[in-house]
């Protein structure tokens, strides 16, 4: 073992690693993005396609990221430098670092809004919204110059705090607490939601299989995009986290657990949101606004609504925090090695820069019209990362695993061995995954319709 490896931080346990990856995967995206996309794309039919895609494309790429990370025992740039010295593959590493910066900058803005709502429910301030007009309440709040930035700052400070504490004492410990809590809250709130009288309509909306849509290319593309976003694929998070894993932990079952649990959280979130939305005659397809403008109407009308609202926004906050921690770690791991700085110094510097980069996203919501290519700054950053950087990252990772490694080594290092599953996996990462991802990518940037 070389010196670098000896001093390297590692997870305390296999469960800690799985919970940290799950914490990264389960985020703001699962709670509303899944439900909206499912609702717009045929409910049950979407669900079938989504689960098949997670199984056939998502999990193999998760396993590829874990394999690359554990083998290299380095950050996302270092991994490619180590495994393919002098080759251009490390561009993927730089892309991962850039993606971490970009996503976290606007993710922390939205997470700040979540915190504002959480405190609004805890203090009861939300009960006094004039005329219960949550649309005006939300738009006037995000349009302010200072308050949203202050919440964003608080959220970034918490993220920085967890990452400073390190891999085992910070990230692993936080997820060991947050993930079970999130699971319990999610189940309790969804059972409660099912008692509100909209269960039949809500569940039909979410699960009714519109069979015509099963082979609809639009549905398949939407499911592929959602799977990618939700599993935190293509940005090097799972490479970075795999880098803190020691040899004795088996990778395929870890990938399977993360994929299945992430999908379960998405489905249960749908069970929480839609029955409640239908029970109170709200619009289920109001998209991103669903959480901030529609659900408060629901909470307003139920008894103990303040408590349920507080629990819901706490759940969302916990999900966002565990994802933001993983995004920050991708960039911090790289700069720590590059600058040879301590973890604390690096986290404060990088976290601070990301906070500053997020300010235009916050201001662009009404305070100052900051636009890039006709989109407000937050939407631009979101689309740049989600539509361009993530899919591209996924293609490169799959191709690297499939073509830059000898087949025998790939099978050995992934713990699959020379089995039929191993051989199927190799062909998925070689051909099927890159091709499928390339199709969503081209579709999203509008080259193919
Ligand atoms: N996977 C998470 C989510 O679903 C984040 C995606 C990390 C950017 O929200």
- Using the mean position of ligand 1's atoms as its centre, give its distance from the Cα of residue 409 in Å: 30
Given the structure tokens 């794309």, which residue do they identify? 41
- Tokens at 132, concatenated: 């219960």
Ligand 1 lining (C-beta closer than 6 Å):
24-25, 27-30, 103, 229-230, 232, 323, 327
* CA nearest neighbour of 249 among 21, 403, 4: 21
Determine the residue of 22, 28, 390 to mutate for testing ligand 1's pocket, defined as the one with the most ligand atoms within 8 A of the Cβ atom: 28
Would you kindly state where each structural domain of the chain is located, as residue ranges?
A: 16-274+288-445
How far is ligand 1, taken at its centre, from the CA of residue 34, in Å? Answer: 11
Q: Which atom of ligand 1 is nearest to 324's Cα?
A: 7
Q: What is the CATH number of domain 16-274+288-445?
A: 1.20.1730
Local structure of 376: helix, strand or coil = strand
Give the N- to C-terminal CA distance of the chain in Å, as an integer. Answer: 51
406 C-alpha to ligand 1 centroid (Å)? 31
State the Cα–Cα distance between residues 70 and 80, nearest whole angstrom: 12
Q: Which two tokens stand for residue 392?
A: 């591209």
Inter-CA distances, 280 with 124, 285, 286, 430, Å: 21, 14, 14, 48
Question: What is the mean predicted confidence (pLDDT) over 161-177?
Answer: 86
Cα 103 to middle of ligand 1, angstroms: 9
State residue 240's pLDDT score: 92
pLDDT tens string 326-336: 999 999 999 99
How far apart (Å, rounded) are the C-alpha atoms in residues 233 and 254? 15
ipTM of the complex: 0.96
Give the pLDDT band of residue 182 (cuts 50, 70, 90).
Answer: confident
Q: For 251-274, what is each residue's pLDDT tens digit?
A: 999 999 999 999 999 999 989 888
Residue from 109, 230, 270 to probe ligand 1 pocket by mutation (most atoms less than 8 Å from CB)? 230
**Whose alpha carbon is nearest atom 3 of ligand 1?**
27
CA distance 258 to 348: 29
The confidence score (pLDDT) of residue 227 equals 87
CA 420 to ligand 1 center in whole angstroms: 32
pTM, two decimal places? 0.89
Contact indicator for 242, 65 with CB cutoff of 8 Å: yes
Query: Do 18 and 262 form a contact (C-beta atoms < 8 A)?
Result: no
**CA of residue 246 to ligand 1 center, whole Å:** 25
Most confident of 44-48, 78-82, 247-251, 382-386: 78-82
| pLDDT (0 to 100) of residue 178 | 84
């Amino acid at each position: 073992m070389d010196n670098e490896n000896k001093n390297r931080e590692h997870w305390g346990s296999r469960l800690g690693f799985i919970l940290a990856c799950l914490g990264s995967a389960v985020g703001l995206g699962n709670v509303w993005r899944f439900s909206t996309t499912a609702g717009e794309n045929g409910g049950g039919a979407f669900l079938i396609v989504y689960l098949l895609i997670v199984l056939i494309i998502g999990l193999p790429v998760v396993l590829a990221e874990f394999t690359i990370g554990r083998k290299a025992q380095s950050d996302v740039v270092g991994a490619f430098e180590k495994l393919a010295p002098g080759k251009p593959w490390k561009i993927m590493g730089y892309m991962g670092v850039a993606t971490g910066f970009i996503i976290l900058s606007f993710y922390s803005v939205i997470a700040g809004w979540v915190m504002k709502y959480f405190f609004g429910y805890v203090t009861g301030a939300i009960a006094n919204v004039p005329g219960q007009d949550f649309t005006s309440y939300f738009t006037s709040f995000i349009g302010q110059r200072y308050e949203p930035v202050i919440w964003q700052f608080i959220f970034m400070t918490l993220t920085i705090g967890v990452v400073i504490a390190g891999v085992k004492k910070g990230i692993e410990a936080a997820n060991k607490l947050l993930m079970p809590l999130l699971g319990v809250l999610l189940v309790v709130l969804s059972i409660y939601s099912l008692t509100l009288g909209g269960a039949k309509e809500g569940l039909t909306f979410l699960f009714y299989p519109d069979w015509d849509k099963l082979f609809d290319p639009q549905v398949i593309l939407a499911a592929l995009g959602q799977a990618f976003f939700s599993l935190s694929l293509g940005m090097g998070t799972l490479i970075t986290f795999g880098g803190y894993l020691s040899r004795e932990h088996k990778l395929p079952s870890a990938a399977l657990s993360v994929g299945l649990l992430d999908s379960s959280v998405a489905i249960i979130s749908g069970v929480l949101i839609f029955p409640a939305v239908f029970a109170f005659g709200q619009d289920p397809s109001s998209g991103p606004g669903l959480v901030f403008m529609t659900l408060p109407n629901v909470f307003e009308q139920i008894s103990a609504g303040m408590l349920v609202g507080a629990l819901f926004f706490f759940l969302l906050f916990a999900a966002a925090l565990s994802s933001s921690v993983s995004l920050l770690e991708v960039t911090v791991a790289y700069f720590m090695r590059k600058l040879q700085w301590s973890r604390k110094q690096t986290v404060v510097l990088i976290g601070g820069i990301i906070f500053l980069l997020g300010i235009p996203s916050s201001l662009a919501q009404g305070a100052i019209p900051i636009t890039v290519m006709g989109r407000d700054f937050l939407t631009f950053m979101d689309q740049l990362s989600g539509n361009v950087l993530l899919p591209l990252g996924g293609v490169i990772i799959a191709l690297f695993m499939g073509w830059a490694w000898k087949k025998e080594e790939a099978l050995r290092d992934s713990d699959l061995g020379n089995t039929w599953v191993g051989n199927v996996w190799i062909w998925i990462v070689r051909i099927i995954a890159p091709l499928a991802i390339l199709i969503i990518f081209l579709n999203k940037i509008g080259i193919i319709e």
